[in-house]
Structure 1
């Protein structure tokens, strides 16, 4: 039987960052394509946040097992880990509320550009560098993000612009989270970072429950919270692998690649599962994402 130690040694080989990055892309891409199923079955999206937070628990325990149950709890570690978690969990809740009052076809392209914040901060403060080909790949990945996130404006939106302010908050928080995740990985192990992400995620559950409209019928059956858990566990595992991706890879490469690759996979799976025909804008985004991913994959550590 293969031990956890053997698995770690095999994974932590050359190109480990690419393994974790691609794995996160695949998991988040599948999650994006499936996440609306519970809502269609009558289980509110806002409650899926609570399910996601709970799904983080087994992932955090497995991560601690990889770290031989050594949790870093010094002041610096728990503060950095909690900051990463708060930025992620808090921005997710804000996003749920923003989608209630604003047009999704404008919200998602804006927040999907969060790697711009991560890249700029990583270059300025972490002194990260990338090859010329990698920079070209980053540019193509950043171009692909809004293209893959584009939707038609049929649903309309709120005439006010409060949604835009909230969207910019999410955009900033996602970019900051990725930056601090990389920053924290320099002084603490990835398993501890994820453990604090799990804890802070659980702390926001009461908020998601408060935001839920219980006056409407809610599906509590197998096709509701149980299906949601199966889908949300993909998100949770992806979040764990994301921490490892930032540990072994450069933030200026990992962040744009994931934010371009995951929507690409979502679009591809949606095309297969729901027979959705992508428009020319999305197709252009797919081409940019594939080309950018190819250039980034050639980067050596």
Structure 2
């Protein structure tokens, strides 16, 4: 049997982060189609998203025991409600405020995650890693400031946007904390799915009832795009359980928009703005720095190897 090295274990989050970027990048490129083509209401998109969460939850839990302990349920519901609640607050904010102001605020959620992980989980980053985190955060803001239109309707959207930012930053932090507490990925995602389903009545109330005057293509297209979102959320849980939250959150939030822009350019002929081009460069540079330093930090040194007692067996043996 091959024993996994410390480098293998430390870098096990990278494939899941890559899959997350793939699924969320494709989702971002096509997620607006139901609203643009059929004027499908945003709260209804939430309802369909919550239902699609059941699919990856079923696959992840198949053949496994669903952890119903107080620890798993507490973390799972906290993670799920902060994520789903943030989504509902975002829908409300976008109906009363300009997206070009809201999204840059929401985009700073990885900064909340980084600060919480640094303060509460004692995750330590070296100078290069901190540089990568800062580059990724700047890239996220640059991606966001190039979207949206102005609006004159009050200031309520500002505190709502801040609440979304905090909620999603806290969600990513508690994903990591749940993993450190021993809660498995499948159970965490199962509780997230339950949380999303619990908020469906709230979304329906926001619409004043279920809309019926839409062609079948609208919910079908929504289900297809939101399934990508749901599977990506599962990969986020898996990446967070294996890597530092202070690295995983900025990497994934910076690289997914890069793929979205590339796909939009190829499929829809949409040219990136100057802000987006700058964001792409910073996202790639920052993510490369963080991943590179994570790999270098996981490599065992020769001094470490020679100091191992010869008469002691490895705990992995």
> For residue 250 of structure 2, what is the aligned residue in structure 1?
256
Superposed, which structure 2 residues align to 1:192-203 within 5 Å? 192-203=187-198
User: Does structure 2 retain, via aligned residues, the 8 Å contact 1:85–1:200?
Assistant: yes
> In structure 2, what is the equivalent of residue 9 of structure 1?
none
Please give the secondary structure, in 1, of the residue aligned with 2:207. coil
Residue 77 of structure 1: CA displacement? 1.3
- Correspondent of 2:36 among 30, 34, 40: 40
With 129-138 and 253-262 compared, the bigger mean Cα shift is at 129-138
Question: Which whole-Å CA distance do the structure 2 matches of 1:272 and 1:216 have between them?
Answer: 33
Q: What residue is the counterpart of 2:285 in the other structure?
A: 291
Work out which of the two has the higher radius of gyration on C-alpha atoms and give 1 or 2: 2
CA 61–156 in structure 1, closer or farther in 2 if over 3 Å, else same? same
Stretches of structure 1 that go unaligned for 5 or more consecutive residues are 1-11
Correspondent of 2:264 among 264, 270, 288: 270
TM-score (norm 1): 0.90
SS at match of 1:158: coil
80 and 215 in structure 1: CA distance in 2 versus 1, 3 angstrom threshold: closer
Taking the TM superposition and a 5 Å limit, the aligned residue runs for 1:170-185 are 170-185=164-179
Please report the RMSD computed on the Cα atoms of aligned residues, expressed in angstroms.
Answer: 1.7
For residues 201 and 102 of structure 1, the distance between their equivalents in structure 2, rounded to whole angstroms, comes to 24
The reply to whether residue 18 of structure 1 matches residue 14 of structure 2 is yes
Task: Give the aligned partner of residue 281 of structure 1.
Answer: 275
After superposition, the C-alpha distances for 1:67-103 in whole angstroms (9 at most, x for unaligned) are x321111112101110000000001001001100000
1:122 aligns with 2:117: yes
CA 205–159 in structure 1, closer or farther in 2 if over 3 Å, else same:
closer
Q: Which residue of 1 aligns with 2:310?
A: none
* Equivalent residues of 2:112, 2:166 under 8 A apart: yes
CA drift of 1:216 comes to: 7.5
For the Cα contact (< 8 Å) 1:41–1:219, is it kept in 2? no
Cα deviation per residue 1:82-125 (whole Å; 9 max; x = unaligned)? 00000000010010011000000110111011111100010111
Partners of 1:182 and 1:145 in 2: how far apart? 21
Per-residue deviation at 1:60?
0.6
TM-fit CA distance, 1:212: 2.1
TM-score, reference length from structure 2: 0.86
- For residue 145 of structure 1, the aligned residue among 140, 155, 162 is 140
| 1:164 maps to 2:161 | no
